[in-house]
Structure 1
Amino acid sequence: MDVFLKDFFPDVYQKESSVKASDDQYCKFDSQILTLFTSSLYLAALVSSIGASMATRKYGRRPTMMTSGLLFAAGAIVNGLAKNVVMLIVGRLFLGFGIGCANQSVPIYLSEVAPSKYRGALNMMFQLFITIGILIANSLNYAFARLIGGDMAWRLSLGGAIVPGLIILLGSCFLPDTPNSEIERGNYGRAKDLLLKLRDVDNVDEEFNDLVEASEKAKLVKHAWLNIFKRKYRPQLVFAVCIPMFQQLTGMNVIVFYAPVLFKTIGFGSNASLLSSLITGFVNMLATFASILTVDKLGRRKLFLMGGTQMLICQVVITIAIAMKFGEWEPRCDFLVPTLVP
């Protein structure tokens, strides 16, 4: 929102207001502070995910989920009441810590409480509702900007994150921990009672014994982090690292988080750029629905290849569109040296 940029990133706002859509926009909005504001969330998530993985294993999935909700709420409060950029970044750090805790605990919790035949579907629902959450957030941003405006608009957008944060926090209070987690901590009686309740059957001995055996075998594994570098695990390791890494290197997160600024550079107004972000979130949600409906019919590999092809085509189209819009250009950022001509 313009009022947000004016308050916290006036240099970006001035550059945005002084250029025309027909001008070459390359590096017009380069701001290290704005970049720090955005990327601080990812840095915090990276750091906290390491600690959260150990906490999830030692203390259980439920306490880690509760912690994530508390951190989300704290970050929303700090951001909503922000008076300066430092408060904004601190709030983003809290949100990043919450993401790290949630990403470590929630998928594991879903996998461990779900019956085996519904496990894949429930984990895909996790991704689906992430895209729905993005869509709702973009919708609220647009609504607040159009209907309220002023400082209160961006404060509601940032502070509104307290609502889902409190839902996670309070909802986790009513959830039991998983049988797997109880077994890991030696609470076998509690684990069996939970399994009986979750499966709603009279006898769970077979599944319970499998869980105990798996836990005992896992405890015998030494130097687990070193083991994944062994030759026999190398293909899985390469896929586990390269697929998400190259997915991020496509720049999708830049499009999602900087969408309003990016759309403004090609001539969209302030509200129109927020609306474009809303459209991006809507398409993202629809694509997730489509993948859920077709993954079992087409298979993981075909869907993966189709998604990669679509991303490649879109990247080429975007490059051509920018080249046609702005023609020849030379980089104006100090950290880029060579002259590039599309």
Structure 2
Amino acid sequence: MAGGSFGPAGVAKERAQQYQGKVTASVIIACMVAATGGSLFGYDVGISGGVTSMDGFLSKFFHNVYEKKQHAKENNYCKYDDQGLATFTSSLYLAGLVASLVASPITRSYGRRASIIIGGISFFVGASLNAAAVHIAMLLAGRIMLGIGIGFGNQAVPLYLSEMAPTHLRGGLNMLFQLATTLGIFSANMVNYGTQKLEPWGWRLSLGLAAVPAFLMAVGGMLLPETPNSLIERGQEAKGRKVLEKIRGTSNVDAEFEDMVDASEMANSIKHPFRNILERRNRPQLVMAICMPASQIMTGINAILFYAPVLFQSMGFGKDAALYSSASTGAVLFFSTFLSIAAVDKLGRRMLLISGGIIMIICQVTVSIILGLKFGTNEHLSKGYSVLVVVVVCLFVLGFGWSWGPLGWTVPSEIFPLEIRSAGQSITVSVNFLFTFIIGQCFLSMLCAFKFGIFLFFAGWVTLMTAFVYFFLPETKGVPIEETVLLWRKHWFWKKIVGEEMESRGTPNGNAVEMDEAVRNIQ
């Protein structure tokens, strides 16, 4: 390895200024196809909430909820409080949690494409089972297969996007995953709006159409090129350089290729990445892999997106109005992602996360006040206040859509050194699914118990995580993916942890001056 490298602390050199290349059609098309994996996640998030409010679905699988829904005197906040119904939604994410851990060694040993293809096929099978379900066991089996598909897709796609993208556009291209997710949510809301008029079988069409993005993901994965990082890591250096030259549009890729080769040497020396990720030098990345996805879910966004029709019906909206209102939030989420794509590589990750957090706090407190003052347990909101609630919820979704929505996936995917990158992404996905499962399973009961206070509960979490970003997350804008390890060495807090270990281990040439100079250049 060349002088100035970090040895055990990861590959990180002063080569970023030597990177050549431009945005090519190959990289744009590859990233767009790969990002369709996000539409699987989004479609399920959007579709499950609408389906669980449809009378035909409830009457067939959750008849007690259907009966409660028909009683006007039932507490508005508690009509849908049923653990079986919650399990229908949350079981997918428990399966996804396990699948994401299984996907890590497959993604590392067989490439990012392999996991993308497996994810698409599994999701296709799950969609087919759900559409044809005649009893609850078949319905849950389909949800588990959907979860396996999402677990593989969410593990591989963000990695694929980060590794294919040129450094100066990595944030924007990585957000194609979130853009596809929001498009999936919006599409699902539109499908639900149409199929809820096809009672009692419309829910089958809603669930079955999930096979469409799954098919696109599986076929697209077969046509995609593998990332040069993965090829080099698996010993195919010549092929990796060829792909790198193609996606960068130039043969002058020596600097970037050398960084990948050095990272690969380090990666292949690590036999137990899940064990190595626990070491002190990787402590900052491990903390982010846990806190970022956990915080993303604790914004409360999944509760709103999962149960938007249920939530709006609980507030007194009619069936059509509830689905229409939830479709509005899906549309806002989709278009807000474009704002994030346009701004992330200009304003940086921290600016978007902090500003989005402030907006979400204000909106959640506002909704809580409106419901607390104007909405009783057996009453309906007036038309004026109903419109105001929808507007404020849409503003909340807007704040999430340009901040924690895309960046909850982008930041963890770009901060790990190659030797633990797949393991780190698995932890990120697993934590995301764990908290999604918990919120999905508990939200209906929490809504019944907390009533309007549920929004204050989530606002408190958003306050904590916004402060966490301000104090502990360094800016990764414009930093090559193989050099982000240097950021922790410079950070006011993390340098106390990783800096001391780097110095105690030393660099191969003992050149701490070069290491500090590399840190200053990145900053």
Question: 1:164 aligns to what SS in structure 2?
Answer: helix
Q: Does 1:99 align with 2:150?
A: yes
**Counterpart in the other structure of 1:6:** 59
**Counterpart in the other structure of 1:109:** 160
Q: Does 1:321 align with 2:370?
A: yes
Q: Deviations over 1:93-115 (max 9, x none)?
A: 11111111011111111222222
157, 180, 184: which one pairs with 2:229?
Answer: 180
**Counterpart in the other structure of 1:303:** 352
Q: Deviations over 1:307-342 (max 9, x none)?
A: 11111122212222222244589xxx9999x99997
Question: 2:226 aligns to what SS in structure 1?
Answer: coil
Task: Give how far 1:131 is off.
Answer: 0.7
Please show how residues 22-37 of structure 1 align to structure 2 within 5 Å: 24-37=75-88
Q: Deviations over 1:34-80 (max 9, x none)?
A: 01100001101111011111110011111111101101110110011
Q: Deviations over 1:170-213 (max 9, x none)?
A: 11111121222122221222222322333332343433222111
46, 68, 85: which one pairs with 1:15?
Answer: 68
168, 183, 207: which one pairs with 1:132?
Answer: 183
Q: Does 1:73 align with 2:130?
A: no
- Preserved contact between residue 114 and residue 122 of structure 1 (Cα < 8 Å): yes
Closer/same/farther in 2, CA of residues 8 and 218 from structure 1, 3 Å limit: same
**Counterpart in the other structure of 2:296:** 247
> C-alpha separation between the residues in 1 aligned to 2:189 and 2:208?
14
User: Which has the higher relative contact order, 1 or 2, with Cα contacts under 8 A spaced 6 or more apart?
Assistant: 2
> C-alpha separation between the residues in 1 aligned to 2:452 and 2:205?
42
**Counterpart in the other structure of 2:107:** 56
> C-alpha separation between the residues in 2 aligned to 1:67 and 1:283?
31
Q: Which blocks of at least 5 consecutive residues in structure 2 are unaligned?
A: 1-53, 379-443, 454-523
- Preserved contact between residue 61 and residue 135 of structure 2 (Cα < 8 Å): yes
**Counterpart in the other structure of 1:88:** 139
Q: Deviations over 1:267-317 (max 9, x none)?
A: 122222111110111121232222223334433222211111111122212
> C-alpha separation between the residues in 1 aligned to 2:339 and 2:272?
40
Decide which moves more: 163-172 or 195-204. 195-204
Decide which moves more: 48-57 or 278-287. 278-287
Closer/same/farther in 2, CA of residues 179 and 40 from structure 1, 3 Å limit: same
Question: 1:150 aligns to what SS in structure 2?
Answer: coil
Q: Which amino acid aligns with 2:241?
A: K
Q: Does 1:189 align with 2:242?
A: no
Q: Which amino acid aligns with 1:174?
A: L
**Counterpart in the other structure of 1:267:** 316
**Counterpart in the other structure of 1:121:** 172
> C-alpha separation between the residues in 1 aligned to 2:226 and 2:188?
29
Using the size of structure 1 for normalisation, the TM-score is: 0.89
Using the size of structure 2 for normalisation, the TM-score is: 0.59
> C-alpha separation between the residues in 2 aligned to 1:144 and 1:340?
30
Task: Give how far 1:247 is off.
Answer: 2.9
Q: Which amino acid aligns with 2:104?
A: S
Closer/same/farther in 2, CA of residues 242 and 220 from structure 1, 3 Å limit: same
133, 152, 160: which one pairs with 2:209?
Answer: 160
Q: Which blocks of at least 5 consecutive residues in structure 1 are unaligned?
A: none
Identity of matched residues, %:
50
**Counterpart in the other structure of 2:92:** 41
Q: Which amino acid aligns with 1:67?
A: I
- Preserved contact between residue 2 and residue 270 of structure 1 (Cα < 8 Å): no
**Counterpart in the other structure of 1:289:** 338
Closer/same/farther in 2, CA of residues 31 and 129 from structure 1, 3 Å limit: same
Task: Give how far 1:90 is off.
Answer: 1.0
Task: Give how far 1:252 is off.
Answer: 1.7
> C-alpha separation between the residues in 1 aligned to 2:258 and 2:345?
30
Q: Which amino acid aligns with 1:274?
A: L
262, 266, 269: which one pairs with 1:220?
Answer: 269
Q: Which amino acid aligns with 1:60?
A: G
Closer/same/farther in 2, CA of residues 334 and 29 from structure 1, 3 Å limit: closer
- Preserved contact between residue 133 and residue 139 of structure 2 (Cα < 8 Å): yes
- Preserved contact between residue 70 and residue 166 of structure 1 (Cα < 8 Å): yes
> C-alpha separation between the residues in 2 aligned to 1:276 and 1:82?
28
Decide which moves more: 259-268 or 228-237. 228-237
Question: 1:323 aligns to what SS in structure 2?
Answer: helix
- Preserved contact between residue 127 and residue 146 of structure 2 (Cα < 8 Å): yes
Aligned length: 334
Closer/same/farther in 2, CA of residues 341 and 51 from structure 1, 3 Å limit: closer
- Preserved contact between residue 368 and residue 452 of structure 2 (Cα < 8 Å): no
- Preserved contact between residue 67 and residue 101 of structure 1 (Cα < 8 Å): yes
Q: Which amino acid aligns with 1:14?
A: E
> C-alpha separation between the residues in 1 aligned to 2:309 and 2:322?
5
